[in-house]
Structure 1
């Protein structure tokens, strides 16, 4: 059994979006055999919601929410100067720009590393590795450092920079690339979601770091199959994903503007349900004003919305990693129509497990073909469910992770 410290410097509970779901289920699966400590910036009160999936007892949440910034003799100076000097002292750099997350987390981290020894340090984002990696490595020289890559971040930032034409995002992409090229200096190994991300990250590191593909998965008990044979009659499409994430935003707008009018022409009475957080309502005003669109927003449980819907859509034009929402739809019994980018990282056969469409015309045609053919509809969703059951259930993925960790511990 290993003792693992996981660094998650953002809110991830309750597990609603793709990244949060991956964090939660990896923690839960590792806790089947190992003792887990989680250092997070999230409010500890958030972890006591009734009705949400629970952590095992051997997962210890340590929150730095509301913690005071690191304090030293430099604090006799004005706070801005003190923060800058304290931060440079902590990271051992004369030119680093102060980061509030680290300043508020450092004392708690120091105390934890002094009181508890760890076999493995697990970083749940590139930011976590970049912010905490060097500090923790100095204090835990014998620990094994693992980075969990949800995406290839430099690629995502670059896609967003091109789409939004914002220079700052290009700078983010450059910074992410600089760190991704040095993973072999920061970590002993990395997990990633897909074979394509594995190839990119190993290439960036010139094969100097070990990587393991740990795909996203689904909790089949939490996401039960809807077995109704008349499900296609609802004529309801569902899009699920945070609209604060650019690939989801641009994909949904493309679908609504280019694809949806054609679908409505082919399938009278069709409707669209949209699930996901949205901090930019003005961007989606046309959808909100459309009586055939149910703009629900963020919900605690997505299951009822999938069960009342027919087809799940993943019209993404950019992004990387694995679309957890596609796997979720497959588990719940909704056939999926997706772009190639949207289905990246999933081991599917087009026409057997889902339908791929990269043009607006083809996307509309694929939706219409499923809604007008009950045999095709039910055959595809059954095959998709079997794919998830065989390859993407969290129990199986957890065994893969724990076997890897057990080899390290031994």
Structure 2
């Protein structure tokens, strides 16, 4: 069986949540046979070697279109502005040259990527939505303006004005994303989202839950006891150019950490991930260590005492939650931070939404060592039962085979 795979990013190295998801879904098709990977990544990011069995076909996306080119189509069509901003023209022409008769099945990552090539596809196709974009757009709108720590009155006023303008666009685009998702689903055999919760929200008949997973590459520390109870380390890992992550870091650093440090004066908040320039203002706050990207997460995961997932917007499921479970880090998260992942408050994690309650849970995760130990063990068991990439890849391979066999009947 030979597969054609299309994605907007080159996922090796898999150094953020989306690339990790894409790389594992592609490898699910490699388990069925050779894969030709049409890569629409037009960035100059470092590229590691693709795994065996994958042939890369470059079809790079062009530079983002300026507002003068996308605003009129946005006003006269029913497409979300992000789709209109992206220039896949050259990539689409390159895709049209491919002989689809040489393949048995196609897998596409993201609605954005499918949109310019959908009319050219003749193969049975599976598409990974990953996020439900209408839900993501709504939660970003409701999260409010982006205000940097230390902003004065003028800067705050400008942030509110930007948010008001963006919210007007987003209110329209929420409905457009929902329509675009339904349109795509009507033209392919299967669609994927990250959780059963998103299956229910999508109201799409051919959608399947394909959760985010994690694969251990080292034996985790036990973490039953904090490394230093007098100076605990609270860890956030994520792509910091992603708005929900940036908002989460700002909120924890400015609204939660000061409350934690009233009880634990030497507590630190380590922020790890590419795109640190997007949250640079938090580096000036007491107790914040803005690390940025790292070559290996192992020292960060071993050196931390509590994982924090203080997200207030977003969609899909968060890899950072499963990562904490797999690495035996006790976790404090918001409801939206662990949405779609099968966790119970007080059993697998502390789930809090108010800043003061979130801070109190952080202190408890350090000081209540008996509860800390039971939470760590329960979360690890849940990870082993449901969120290992090896079992998720096997499920995707089976779904692909079912689609091909149904087409051959």
TM over 0.5: yes
Deviations 1:243-282 (A, max 9, x none): 222211222222222211110011121101001223654x
- Find the counterpart in structure 2 of residue 238 from structure 1: 235
Residue 323 of structure 1, aligned match among 295, 318, 322: 318
Contact kept? 2:196, 2:209, Cα under 8 Å: yes
* 1:156 counterpart residue number: 136
Q: Output aligned runs, 1:3-402, within 5 Å.
A: 3-42=2-41, 48-49=47-48, 55-65=50-60, 101-113=87-99, 117-136=102-121, 140=122, 143-162=123-142, 163=144, 164-165=163-164, 166=166, 167-201=168-202, 203=203, 205=204, 209-220=205-216, 222=217, 224-227=219-222, 229-233=224-228, 235-278=232-275, 280-281=277-278, 283-285=279-281, 287-402=282-397
Q: Equivalents in 2 of 1:66, 1:9: separation in Å?
A: 8
Which residue of structure 2 lines up, in the alignment, with residue 72 of structure 1?
none
* Local SS of the residue matching 2:236: strand
Deviates more, 1:209-218 or 1:56-65: 56-65
| Aligned counterparts of 1:18 and 1:241: Cα–Cα separation in 2 | 8
Distance 2:194 2:61 in 1: 33
Q: Distance in 2 between matches of 1:224 and 1:325?
A: 17
In structure 1, stretches of 5+ residues that fail to align are 68-82, 85-96
CA positional deviation for 1:232? 4.6
Question: How far apart are residue 303 of structure 1 and its match?
Answer: 2.0
Counterparts of 1:105 and 1:377 in 2: how far apart (Å)?
50
> How far does residue 379 in structure 1 lie from its aligned partner after superposition?
2.4
Native 8 Å contact 1:232 1:374 kept in 2: no
The alpha carbon displacement at 1:98 in A equals: 8.0
Which secondary structure state, in structure 1, belongs to the residue aligned with residue 234 of structure 2? strand
Supply the distance in 1 between the matched residues of 2:366 and 2:30 (Cα, whole angstroms): 42
- Conserved 8 A contact 2:61-2:88: no
Alpha carbons 1:232, 1:377 under 8 Å: kept: no
Q: CA deviation at 1:113?
A: 2.5
User: Does the residue aligned with 2:241 lie in a helix, a strand or coil?
Assistant: coil
| Matches of 2:299 and 2:369, distance apart in 1 | 21
Alpha-carbon distance, 1:45 to partner: 8.3
The residue that corresponds to 1:88 in the other structure is none
**Number of equivalent positions:** 366
8 Å CA contact 1:316–1:341 kept in 2: the answer is: yes
**What per-residue deviation string (whole Å, max 9, x for no partner) do you get for residues 123-168 of structure 1?**
10110122211222xxx2xx21111011110121233234333133
Cα distance in 2 for residues equivalent to 1:193 and 1:318: 16
SS of residue paired to 1:369? helix
Whole-angstrom CA distance in 1 between matches of 2:212 and 2:118: 24
Summarize the Cα distance change of 1:224–1:33 in structure 2 as closer, same or farther, 3 Å threshold.
farther
Distance in 2, matches of 1:98 and 1:218, equals 33
Superposition RMSD on alpha carbons, in Å? 2.7
| Change beyond 3 A, Cα 1:118–1:168 | same
Using the alignment, how far apart are the partners of 1:251 and 1:173 within structure 2? Answer: 22
Deviates more, 1:29-38 or 1:301-310: 29-38
What TM-score do the two structures reach when normalised by structure 2? 0.82
Partners of 2:61 and 2:87 within 8 A in 1: no
